[in-house]
Amino acid sequence: MTKINELYDAKKKTKEEDLASAEYVALTGDHWTSVSNNNYLGVTAHYITKTWKLKSFALTVMKTEEHHFAEVCAQQFQTVAHKWKIEGKITTIGTVSARNMTAAAKLLPYEHMPCIAHMLQRSINMSLSNSGFANVLAKCRKIVGHFRHSAANTTELKAQQAALGQQQEPLIQDMPTRWNSTVEMIKRLNRNQAALKATLDQQNHKLVMLTPPEWDKLQRLSTLLEPCRYVMEILGGEAYISCSVVLPALCHLRQVMKVSEEDPAYVGRFKTIFMEELASRQENTNNAWLKLATALNPRFKDLKSLPKSEREEVWTSLGGMLYEQSPRRSLLTSQDGPPRKKTHLLQMGSDSESDEEVQPDREIHRYRAEPSISMEDCPMQWWAAHSGAHDKLARLASKYLATPASTVPCERLFSVAGHIVQKKRSALHSENVNQLVCLSNWLKDE
């Protein structure tokens, strides 16, 4: 532990220097309960460097005595920000949709970014439970359990897979808390339909096999869930910007979930419920932040994912922010020097007034006139090459694009913590838990 303490202190100093050079920092946070029933708050930081590299790393996995009250949660976030000296740099705090976390975020002087992946998963769960898929999914889980809980049954299934020339792969059991596990279970069952039937025909079991219409229903469900799986994987990444992808991704889902005349009744119900749930939950997200982030992504700056009536409002907001950054605005709002009204009178006769006044609009216009980049191109590389031409917008881009779309970074911390705080190590000191989890996160890139 002495060596671990020394390594932690050295690496933490490096991380503190990195944060000191960052202009804006976004946080994600969530709570986790260990096997010894201790509660921990995990917090991760996300920022864009001056060389336009997206950086993410853990700040802490700190033990907390109480987390059910919003005031306590808010104080915990403030404690972390104070320890890392980033109180004035924080832009957003991303949390899950738990009531106490949402209320805590609203008490803090930062923007709140609810986890979009959680929002999608809840919409999917509600659609599955109310559209006629519950019975067929229950059968699937029993079939998967029959093989996963018996080594002999698994061996027989692998033998049938080999005989049919298929890849020998185990079945997957879906879990409510594991995103995309349902679609992965369905895809694995569909691929191994013949091997499953051949194996079960040779066994004495009490399982109720799926009928041909139910297999067809599974295939349709797999097609329905595949776009959702793709979107959730995109939103869960840490190595690339994700906040600016939310609105285009949700627009894509709304397109693929439109009910058509060829859809069976149960597919139509699924799509209808999903659209209603998604629309209801999206109202509680930080749509204003998402719109600005989308506009500052050169892939999606045409704002086709927004209604035409809302697009100009986004550019007007950006223009107002550029005006707030202008030197003249700083002069007008300064507490020192002549009163604001008299200063404004002096400026009315200035020859350069017109140039100053239109500068924000001119910069917005120049940025909008730039051609959009393809989906294969990196927005960070684009801004690295064009930040000199759009210096004020570049500052806003580094602020809005750094925010992650989900709390997946915290979920990954807790996965590591679960391996560290095992039953045989349940008495591990909380400070040691924090150092081990943080070091695991900091050293993974090295």
Res 29: pLDDT: 92
Q: How far apart are CA 291 and CA 251, in angstroms?
A: 12
Given pLDDT bands bounded at 50, 70 and 90, which one contains residue 346? very low
**Euclidean distance between CA atoms 175 and 115, whole angstroms:** 19
Contacts of 120 (CB under 8 A, 6+ apart): 228, 231, 232, 235, 278
More confident residue, 131 or 68: 131
Whether pLDDT at 338 is above 70: no
In order, the DSSP letters of 85-136 are T-TTTEEEEEE-S-HHHHHHHHHSSSEEEE-HHHHHHHHHHHHHHTTT-HHH
Q: What pLDDT, on the 0 to 100 scale, is given for residue 167?
A: 92
How far apart (Å, rounded) are the C-alpha atoms in residues 326 and 337?
Answer: 18
Q: Which two tokens stand for residue 97?
A: 């949709």
Residue 401 near residue 379, CB atoms below 8 Å: yes
386-435, pLDDT tens digit by residue? 999 999 999 999 999 999 999 988 888 888 998 998 888 888 899 999 99
Reported as a single tens digit per residue, the pLDDT across 97-108 is 767 788 888 889
Distance CA 84, CA 67 (A): 21
**C-alpha Rg value of the chain to the nearest Å:** 26
* DSSP letters spanning 41-96: EEEEEEEE-TTS-EEEEEEEEEEES--SSHHHHHHHHHHHHHHTT-TTTEEEEEE-
Would the pLDDT of 282 be above 50?
A: yes
Q: Residues 279-299: what's their mean pLDDT?
A: 94
Q: Where are the alpha helices (H) located in 167-307, listed in sequence order?
A: 181-191, 193-201, 212-235, 246-256, 265-282, 287-295
- Identify the DSSP state of 301: T
**Can you read off the two tokens belonging to residue 178?**
């594991």
Tokens at 396, concatenated: 């806003």
Q: What is the pLDDT of residues 132-144, one digit of tens each?
A: 898 999 999 999 9
pLDDT in tens, 219-269: 999 999 999 999 999 998 888 999 999 999 999 999 999 999 999 999 999
Closest CA to 278 of 242, 252, 303, 245: 252
Give the pLDDT confidence score for residue 246 in this predicted structure: 96
Q: Which amino acid is at 173?
A: Q
Q: Would you state the pLDDT for residue 330?
A: 46
Residue 280: closest CA among 111, 122, 102: 122
| CB 100 within 8 Å of CB 81 | no
24-77 confidence digits (pLDDT tens): 999 999 888 888 888 999 999 999 999 999 999 999 999 988 666 888 889 999
Q: Is the pLDDT of residue 285 over 60?
A: yes
Given a cut of 50, whether residue 197 has pLDDT beyond it is yes
- φ/ψ region of 337 (left if φ > 0, alpha if ψ in -120 to 50, else beta) reads left
Side-chain half-sphere exposure of 257, counting CA atoms within 13 A: 24
Do 315 and 365 contact (CB within 8 A), yes or no? no
8 Å CB contact between 222 and 183? yes
Grade residue 326 by pLDDT with cuts at 50, 70 and 90.
low
Whole-Å CA distances, 317 to 162, 364, 429: 61, 11, 49
C-alpha atoms less than 13 angstroms from C-alpha of 99 in its C-beta half-sphere? 2
Pairing of strands 25-33, 90-95: parallel
- pLDDT of 5 above 70: yes
What is this structure's pTM? 0.86
Q: What is the pLDDT of residue 358?
A: 45
Domain boundaries, the chain: 2-114+407-443, 120-282, 309-400
Confidence at 328, pLDDT banded by 50, 70, 90 = low
Range 17-23 average pLDDT: 95
Least confident of 130-134, 287-291, 298-302: 130-134
Asked if residue 270 has pLDDT above 90, the reply is: yes
Sign of the CA dihedral running 223, 224, 227, 233: negative
Please, are residues 380 and 52 in contact by the beta-carbon 8 Å criterion? Answer: yes
Is CATH 3.10.450 the classification given to domain 2-114+407-443? no
pLDDT over 60 at 342, yes or no: no
pLDDT, tens digit (0-9, with 9 covering 90-100), for 137-193? 999 999 999 999 999 999 999 999 999 999 999 999 998 778 889 999 999 999 999
The overall average pLDDT reported for the chain is 88
Provide the pLDDT confidence category of residue 301 given band limits of 50, 70 and 90. very high
